[in-house]
Amino acid sequence: MEVNMDCFRRKRTRSKILTMVLTITMVMSSFVMAVPAFAADQTAPQDAIVFDNTGAGEDAISLLDARSFTAKVKVDMTKEELEKAIADGAFQWTLSRGAGMQDASMFPYQYLGGKLEDWKCEKTEAQERGPLFENIKQTAVAEGDAVYLQLSFDAKTMFGYNGVDGRGRKVVRNKVLDYTGEYTLACTNGDVRLGETSVWVRPYDSFYTQSQVDKKMDELAARANAAGIYAKIEQIGTSSAGYPMRAIFISASSSDLSNSQALSKRAESEPAKVQSEIKNGSLKYKVPVMYSNVHADEIIGPDSCLDFVEALVEAAEGDGKIPYTKITGLTSAGTAAVKSEMAERGKVWSELIKDKVTGVGYIRGNGKVEPTSSSSGASSYSRTSDATVNMTDEEMAKYYNMKDTDLNVKDVLDDIFFIVVPSENVDGRTNFTRTNSNYFDLNRDNTYQTQAETQAMTALIAKWNPVSFHEIHGFYEQFQVEPCSPTHEPNAEYDLFMDTALAQGENFGSTAIANNEKINSFQVPMRDYLEVDKSGKKNWIPFDDMSTSYTPQYAFLHGVNAFTVEVPYGSQEAVDAIKYGFIGNAAFVAENKDRMFTNQLEFYRRGMENIDSDAIRPWYVSQSDEIGAEADVFRKKYKENDNFFPEYYIIPMTSSKQQDMKAAKEMVEYLLRNDVKLKKLTADVKINGVTYVKGSIVVDMHQAKRNMANAALYTNVVITDWNDLYSEPLTAFSQLRGFDMAVITKKGAIKSSNMQAVTKAPAIKSAKSGSGNYTILRNNSVDAIQAVNALLKKGKSVGMVTSGTYKGEFLVSTADFNSVKNQYILKGYSVKTAPKAKVIKKSVKVYIPGRTASPFESNEQGAYGVKNYSDRLNTSLGWDLFAYGKQMGFTIVSNPAKADVIVGNRSLTDAEINLVKEGKPYVGYTANALKAAKAMGIGVEYVDGGGYDALTTVTYESDSLITAKYKKEKDFIMYGYGGNYITSVPEGAKVLVKTTSDYPIEGFMSSAHIEKYKNTVQAIDYAKNGMKVTLFANTLTNKAHQQDDYRFAANAIYEKMLGEDFANAKTIKGVKNTTISAKSAKAEKGIKVSWKKSGSYKVDKYQVYRSTKKSSYGTKAYYVTKNAKTVSFTDSKSLKKGTRYYYKVRGVRKIDGKTYYTKWSNQANRVYK
C-alpha cells in the first residue's frame, strides 16, 4: 500500500477533505434517502468527513494512548430530519482498508478493519477482549446554516498498555504492524457512501515503519537543503536481507564533511600537534555527533532520531531555534531528596565519581510509577526503587532549578555536524523484530562483525570518529543513561571518557526528563548502581561495559564518548524524551567541543606512542569498589615491555607459516575496515630467535587505533571476582578464528625500514604440493568444510583418512581438488597412492533443532504477526542456522526425519529424541544437548555453569576422527560458552576432550568454578543401543565467532556418514550408476527375458525379479545367474495363459565383503499365451 506522506506529517491537521453530493428527502412515514445515480461504492462530490482528536496528539488513532474523537459530515437536510434519521439507524460508520501496508507474504494476517463496533482490543494480562471503540454516538449538529452528522467515540488502548515494552511481548510487538496503517473512515446510508476521510492507526503519533523511515529521510534531506542547511543521505551498507542501510548527515555546508575527514587523518597521524592548535585557538573545526538505533522493536529509536532531525529542519525553516527546558541544578529540596532517597535505597556514590555528579534525575519523590513490566502481573505493579516516575510540574519545580532556553541551530552547526542512522537494523524494523534476517542480535556482534549490518555500522564509526555517540534502546523499569557501572573494557582509555561522560550523561537525562510529560526520573549506572549495606560494605550491581560487542562500547575503541540509553517503555513520551535528550546533548557537545576533542586526540596520542597510562588504572575497581584493585587483572602488563599493549602483532601470510590463510586474510580485511593501519615485512626478521618471513602482516601498535586492534587480538584477561557480566567479553580472534599470529613485546623489534604500509589485504590462493591422482585436502579451515560440502553436492567422492599420517584429513581426486581450488582457499598434498580412507556417503542434510512448530504465533482469535517471529528471537538458533548453512555450506532441512544428522545447541522435542533413539545420528552441544541425552536414556551427568565462558587448554583423550586433526596440529586450545562440564560418562562412551589443570587463558569464570572446571570432560562419543551421538558440554557456534571449533562439529557429522573405502569409491559409484536395459520375447515354452548392461563396470551376476503386478516384486529374486556372462533366461515355470508377467533385472557385485547393486532395469513385460 502506497503511504500518503501528506497525511503522515507530524503536525495536527484536519484530515483531507473529500467531497460528495447528497439530496435527502422524507418519503412517507419512514426515512429514506433519495440517491443520485452513481454506483454504490462511489463518493459523490460535496462536503466530506472532518475527523478530530478532541484531546492532545494527532488526528490519528493510537494503539497505546486512549483518545476521544469526533467525525462530522455535512448533510443537506434539517436538524430535525437528521435526528430522525439517526434514531432510525440510517447511518453506518466503518474504519477499513483494502490491504495492509506490510508485505503480505511476511504479514498475511494484517487487520483490514470493518464497522466501528466490530473493532476489538486484544486480550492481554491487562484486559479482556472487548470493543476497542466505546461510547459510539451520533448527533445532529447545526453550525450556522449548515447541518452536520457528527460521530463521537472513545478509543481504548489496543493492548491495555501505555507503551511497548516487556509486557505481552509476543502479542504487542508482534501485532503492532498487523494494525498499523492508513484506513478509510466512511459513513454510509444504505448503498450510498456519504463521505470518507483518511485516518491513521499507529502505536503513537511519531511512529514510522521502515518504508516510512526511508521516505521521511528523503523528505527531511530535501527540506533541509531548501532551508539553507546541508543534508546528505548516504547508503552505508546493505542489510542481510538486501535492504539499503542509510544515514543522514546534517551540517552547515558540504565542506564540513570533507574538512572533518581531512582533520581525522591529521588527528590519527599528528594528534599532539592538533592538540596544540586547539590550545592556542588556531584550529577552526567541527566535530561529528552520531545517533542511532539497532534493536528495531525497541520501538522509539528510529522515531526519536527522525523527530530530532525534523526539529533541526523545522528550526532552519523558521527562526533557527529549538525551544526547550533546561535543568540547571538541584534546589535545596532536591539536594535533600537525593540524599534521603539514596539512603533509603541503600546507594552511595563511588569515591571515583562523587565530585563529578549532581544526582539530577535520581529523585522519584511522589511521582506516579508508570508500569513497564509484567513480571508480577498486570494489576500488581509495585513502586520499585528503579522504576521511572511521572511527576507533576509542581514537584519537578520543587526539586529542580529549570529555565526555558533554545538551541540555536546555526550556532550549533558552527561547532558540530550530525550523522543519524535511524535504522541500523533495517531487516528488524521491516519485520518489527529485535534481530536481523539471520536471527542475529546485532548489538552482540559489533566486535565479531559476522553480519553485514555490523560491518557497515562499525566502518561508519571508524571512518568518522564521532566525539559523541548515543544508541537508543529499551526496556527497563528505569530510564537509564550510561556511563556504565564497572567493570570496564580494558581497551578503552576510560579516564579520558570519564572526564566528561558523567556530566554528559546527566545532561542528556536531565534534558529528557524536563521535556516530556511522563518520564521524569532517570538513573546512571556508574552513579547509581553502587549498593551499601548497614555495615558499610559496598557492592556494585554490574551493568558493565566490558564487552565491545555493543555498538557504543565498540565506539570506545575509536576514542568516542559513547552511550547506550535505555527507555522504560516505547511511547510518544519516550520519543519526546529522547528527542530532547539529543537536543540537550548537542548543546553540551558544542559547549565542550574543545575538551572532548582534546581527549579524543589524547586517546590517539597514547596510541601513537603506545602509552599505557596509569591514569586508567583506578577505574578498574573490585566489586566492592576498592579503587584500582583489579587493574592488574584487566590491564595486565607484559613483562618484556612493561605495558598492557604489545609492541606488534605479526600475522604470517604464507601457506607454509599460516594454518588458515582465509581466516588470516579475513582478519587483515577486518582490521583495515576498522581503521587499523597495517604494514608488511619487506624482509625476513628474527625476533627472540624466531624468524618472521617477508610478506607477513604487522600490526604496529604505535598508532592511533591501537586500542581497536588490541581489543580484537588480545587474550590476557580472566575475570574471576565479579558475580555477573552482561555479556561474554572474549574476542581472541586468532584462537577463535583459527589463524596463526605472534605477539611481540620487544620494543623496537622491527626496524621501520623493514616494514611497508599496506592498504588492502594481500591476494591469496589455494596451495598444493606433490603429484598424483589423489589429493589430501587439509582439514584446517571453514573453507575446507565448504569445499567438501560443495564437492559432495556435485556428487563427487570425498573421503576421510582413517589412519596413518593423514588421519583426520579429507581425501579427494586431484581433478576434484582442482575444480574447487579457485572458489575456496585450500591446502592440498597430492599423492600417487591413496591413504586408507572412508567415503562420506552423500551430501549431508542436517536438521537444526529449536524452531517453532508453526511459523506464526496464534491465540484465540487465530494466527497473527510476522512469519517466524519466535524463531527470530532465538539467537542461539540463528547462530546454528548461519554457521551450518552460510558459513559451512551444509544443506539444512526443516524436517528431522528427512535429515541425515541432527546437530545443534537447542533442546530436542520428544519426536526428535525418538528419532535419535531409533538411530538418527546426533551431534549436540551445550547443556540443552546434555539434557536431551539424559532424556534418551544416555546416562550422562553434568554441571550447568550458566553464563561463564573460558578459552582454555584441553587434551584429546581418544583416537577419534573428530579430534584427530586438532591433535595433529597441536591445537590444544578450546573455547566454550556456558562453563558446563560432564561429571559422569555413560557406560560405553568414549571421552573425546578434557580440560587440563591449566588456568584459563581468557574468559569470565569465578575462581571456585575454575577449580571445578579443570580436568573435566568436555566431549564424549556414544555409540550404543543403535544410537550414534556426540556431545559437547559447551558451545561450538557461539555468535558465529568460534569458527576454529566448527571442525569439531563438522568432523562429528562426517564421521557418522562414512561408508565404503575410498579406494573402491569410484568403482562402487560406477556400479551403482550402471543401468540395465531389459526386454522380453516369446519363447517356445515360456517367456524369454534378456538384458544389456551399460558402461564398463563389472558385475558378478544378475538378479531377475518377477511379478504379476506392475509395482510389486517382493524381496526375493526369482532367478539369479551364476555369473555375469549370462544375460538372458527363459521363464517357463508355473506360467498361466492370459496372464501378464513383469520382469526387472539388476546387476550384483561384492567389494570387500559388501554387496552393491546396479540400477534396476526398465520393466520388461509380456502376456503368456
The residues of the chain that CATH labels 3.40.50.880 are: 845-1058
Helices (H), 659-752: 661-673, 706-713, 733-737
pLDDT tens-digit map of 400-410: 999 999 999 99
Residue 805: all three cell numbers together: 599420517
Rounded to whole angstroms, how far apart are CA atoms 1092 and 1126?
Answer: 10
Backbone phi, then psi, for 958, in 5-degree steps?
Answer: -125, 160
DSSP structure class, residue 428: H
For residue 933, give the H/E element and its range.
helix 927-935
* pLDDT, position 10: 34
Tell which residue, 715, 716, 714, 686, has the closest CA to residue 699: 714
pLDDT tens-digit map of 116-125: 999 999 999 8
pLDDT tens-digit map of 472-529: 999 999 999 999 999 999 999 999 999 999 999 999 999 999 999 999 999 999 999 9
pLDDT band at 373 (very low <50, low <70, confident <90, very high): low
The residues of the chain that CATH labels 2.60.40.10 are: 5-205, 1069-1167
Q: Exposed/middle/buried for 238, CB within 10 Å: 0-12, 13-18, 19+?
A: middle
Rounded to whole angstroms, how far apart are CA atoms 926 and 995?
Answer: 16
Q: What percent of the chain has pLDDT over 90?
A: 91
Cell numbers 583495515 correspond to what residue? 672
Q: Is the dihedral of CA 739, 742, 748, 750 positive or negative?
A: negative
**Whether 749 contacts 696, CB under 8 Å:** no
Of 36-40, 164-168, 986-990, give the lowest mean pLDDT range: 36-40
* pLDDT, position 375: 43
pLDDT tens-digit map of 499-511: 999 999 999 999 9
What mean pLDDT is predicted for residues 575-592? 98
For residue 36, pLDDT over 50 is answered with: no
pLDDT band at 726 (very low <50, low <70, confident <90, very high): confident
For residue 29, pLDDT over 50 is answered with: no
Q: Exposed/middle/buried for 764, CB within 10 Å: 0-12, 13-18, 19+?
A: middle
Rounded to whole angstroms, how far apart are CA atoms 159 and 176?
Answer: 10
pLDDT band at 261 (very low <50, low <70, confident <90, very high): very high
Count of beta carbons in the 10 Å neighbourhood of residue 320: 18
CATH of domain 845-1058: 3.40.50.880
Backbone phi, then psi, for 677, in 5-degree steps?
Answer: -80, 135
Cell numbers 515355470 correspond to what residue? 1133
pLDDT band at 47 (very low <50, low <70, confident <90, very high): low
Helix (H, G, I), strand (E, B) or coil at 467: coil
**Whether 712 contacts 670, CB under 8 Å:** yes
Count of beta carbons in the 10 Å neighbourhood of residue 773: 12
* pLDDT, position 200: 98
* pLDDT, position 1015: 98
CATH class of the 5-205 domain in this structure: mainly beta
pLDDT band at 37 (very low <50, low <70, confident <90, very high): very low
- DSSP-derived secondary structure for 1003-1069: EE--HHHHHHHTT-EEEEEEEETTEEEEEESS-SSGGGT-GGGHHHHHHHHHHTTEEEEGGGHHHHH
Rounded to whole angstroms, how far apart are CA atoms 869 and 433?
Answer: 7
Count of beta carbons in the 10 Å neighbourhood of residue 1007: 10
Cα separations (Å) of 777 from 828, 844, 969, 1063? 5, 18, 15, 16
Tell me the pLDDT of the chain averaged across its residues: 93
Residue 1130: all three cell numbers together: 527363459
* pLDDT, position 727: 84
Angle at 571 between CA 569 and CA 577, to 5 degrees: 85
pLDDT tens-digit map of 916-937: 999 999 999 999 999 999 999 9
* pLDDT, position 371: 67
First to last CA, the chain: 72
For residue 708, pLDDT over 80 is answered with: yes
Residue 1123: all three cell numbers together: 555369473
* pLDDT, position 716: 79
Residue 1051: all three cell numbers together: 568432523
What mean pLDDT is predicted for residues 272-299? 97
For residue 25, pLDDT over 50 is answered with: no
pLDDT tens-digit map of 62-110: 999 999 999 999 998 999 999 999 999 999 999 999 999 999 999 999 9
Tell which residue, 813, 872, 860, has the closest CA to residue 837: 813
Rounded to 10°, the helix 452-464/255-269 angle is 80
The residues of the chain that CATH labels 3.40.630.10 are: 213-608
* pLDDT, position 505: 98
What mean pLDDT is predicted for residues 522-538? 97
The domain covering 213-608 belongs, at the CATH homologous superfamily level, to Zn peptidases (3.40.630.10)
Q: Exposed/middle/buried for 295, CB within 10 Å: 0-12, 13-18, 19+?
A: buried
pLDDT tens-digit map of 229-245: 999 999 999 999 999 99
Tell which residue, 952, 1038, 941, has the closest CA to residue 982: 941
**Whether 559 contacts 489, CB under 8 Å:** no
For residue 26, pLDDT over 70 is answered with: no
**Whether 787 contacts 777, CB under 8 Å:** yes
Residue 1027: all three cell numbers together: 544410537
* pLDDT, position 11: 33
- DSSP-derived secondary structure for 901-931: EEEESS---HHHHHHHHTT--EEEESHHHHH
pTM over 0.75: yes
CATH architecture of 1069-1167: Sandwich (2.60)
For residue 318, pLDDT over 90 is answered with: yes
Nearby residues of 679 by Cβ (< 8 Å), 6 or more positions away: 697, 698, 700, 755, 756, 757, 758
Nearby residues of 959 by Cβ (< 8 Å), 6 or more positions away: none
Cell numbers 521524569 correspond to what residue? 520
